[in-house]
A = this chain, B = another copy of it.
């Protein structure tokens, strides 16, 4: 593939929270859910600390050659009894900065998460993608994911 960005995937730091939230908000569904203010609402930083405390959760960012944050992904490794006690990987909050799309950054993030899940002994990696995100579904199918489940949600 031409035009693939060279990125570095590293654990997110508290200094990355603003860049991550900006990417979460720069999205048709995220726009109405986030609050971009200066300073950011403290709830984001509290959540970041909760993520950091949880050894089964890894929030990572993709950094470009200049050190700018251009993508993010959260991976949860969830122990459970089913499938002979194998853990499950759950991928959440995958975003790529809008000016950096179609350069393989999302693919590298997801491949990282799948590899990490495998290394941790998971037998399955799962994710939910909104039914309107048809492009995302094609993207994940290209990476080996099947549309095997219905994702159901209740919001408060």
A76 CB–B CB distance under 8 Å: yes
Residues of B within 8 A of A143 (CB): 154
A150 CB–B CB distance under 8 Å: yes
- B145 near A81: Cβ-Cβ < 8 Å: no
Bound complex: CA A106 to CA B29 (Å): 31
Bound complex: CA A133 to CA B44 (Å): 36
Secondary structure dominating the interface of A: mixed
Bound complex: CA A29 to CA B44 (Å): 39
Asked, given contacts A123-B155, A150-B147, whether A82 binds B131 with beta carbons under 8 Å apart, the answer is no
Q: Which of B48, B83, B114, B144 contacts A81 (CB 8 A)?
A: B48
- B154 near A146: Cβ-Cβ < 8 Å: yes
Q: Which of B33, B56, B147 contacts A131 (CB 8 A)?
A: B147
Copies of this chain, whole number: 2
A151 CB–B CB distance under 8 Å: yes
A35 CB–B CB distance under 8 Å: yes
Bound complex: CA A56 to CA B47 (Å): 13
A156 to chain B, nearest CB (A): 6
Residues of B within 8 A of A45 (CB): 85
A64 CB–B CB distance under 8 Å: no
Residues of B within 8 A of A46 (CB): 85
Question: Which A63-113 residues have a C-beta within 8 angstroms of B?
Answer: 74, 76, 78-88, 90, 92-93
